[in-house]
A and B are shown apart, each in its own frame.
Chain A
Amino acid sequence: MVVAFAILAAWELVTAAGVVGFRRPIYNALSLVANMLGLAVLFLILNAQFLFAAQVIVYAGAVMVLFVFIIALLNPGSDLTLGRSGNEWIYGVVFGVIFAALLGGLLFNRGLTGRQGSSSPEAINAVGNVQAIGTALYTKFLFPVEVASVLLLIAAVGAVYLAMRRIR
């Protein structure tokens, strides 16, 4: 398990660097697909099989296909990497340093001090992962699920409206 995690962590970091670093957008998109598939396997290690399936279907499937379609359709140029003034690099470096310092703080504070719940991996696997999450979704989290459904409807209507409209 530890070896698998080490390999996956290295894979995630390399592909994330590819998302940020490659110059051609299609390579960025393919790096992101690889990144999302690696993340799905990390969900498997974390005993979240439902999240694994959702990640592969929704992210690596639907969202990234949309990205690749749009890249193929628009064919954006490859020379749009660097900022004209160079200010963006300064912001990026400053943010990166600040966040790296925060991550260093995490190394000194390793304990996870939340209250333990009752859904241990054994308890979840006894009823089945999808059943356990479905029960939680439609009982405890019913309101967020309803809000998410309205959000998806609004997004679909908005996308259709934007696609129909001709702007000058």
Chain B
Amino acid sequence: MGDTLSYFRQDMLPHIWCPGCGHGTATGALVRAIDRLHLDKNKVCIVSGIGCSSRAVGYLDFDTLHTAHGRALAFATGIKLARPELKVIVMTGDGDCTAIGGNHFIHAARRNIGITTIVMNNNIYGMTSGQYSPMTPKGFFGTTAPYGNVERNFDLCELAKSAGATYVARATSYHVPLLIDLIEKALLNPGFSVVEALVQCPTYMGRKNKIGGPVEMLNWIKEGTVNVKAAAALPPEKLKDKILIGELYNKQEGEYTADYDALIARVQRKYDKFQGGLYGCASNSD
């Protein structure tokens, strides 16, 4: 492994995340995956929206774009369409990605555009101090759910799968080697990839729900998850209320910008032929 610090804008450190926050772990995992693949820094563009998760790009020494709330995938779609050769990565959170940005998420997945999306899921709006998000489990507490959340939460990976993503995986800030492996595989998938990283927010999620500090939260995450490979051999009662981690879906289908380029080439050929046939001259050379 190379020197991962060189991937950071060290003059921007220290970061703003709270002590014990899991966002640094997830950001570190992304950097290690990039390092393993020896990606050219100048061919990587990292885009984020708004929220604690989205602050990550400010610390990363790549071409980065910090955009509007929920819109990272829309901006990233523009970048990928204009420059398909770039490795475009989106760093987002559960609030940013599934509430205000939910529509962009399902349509990016539906198009299978070659963007790698890392969703840091801490189950709460951290930056605005602990409101419940669409990924706060039912019954959990937030500043806007003082008697427990009455709404059901999304299963992000199921959502990604059913919307059309071609690589879907989940790991946690406890299972760091797994997280790095999955991000690495996601970066190699030509189509739309989603890696959900379950991370701890001790400041709001932990405190509001009396889970404890960072260590207790990591234990909570560890106890609440089962690797999908192990799960195959477990009886249903052992899987009750457990969250599956590991590679959950991997299927090759046409990537959007590649299909788009193929379409242009096909129509161009037809047009050239048409011009030649009808007017008996070569295509316009002006």
Q: Are these two chains actual partners, yes or no?
A: no
Interface residues of A (CB under 8 A from B): none
Interface residues of B (CB under 8 A from A): none
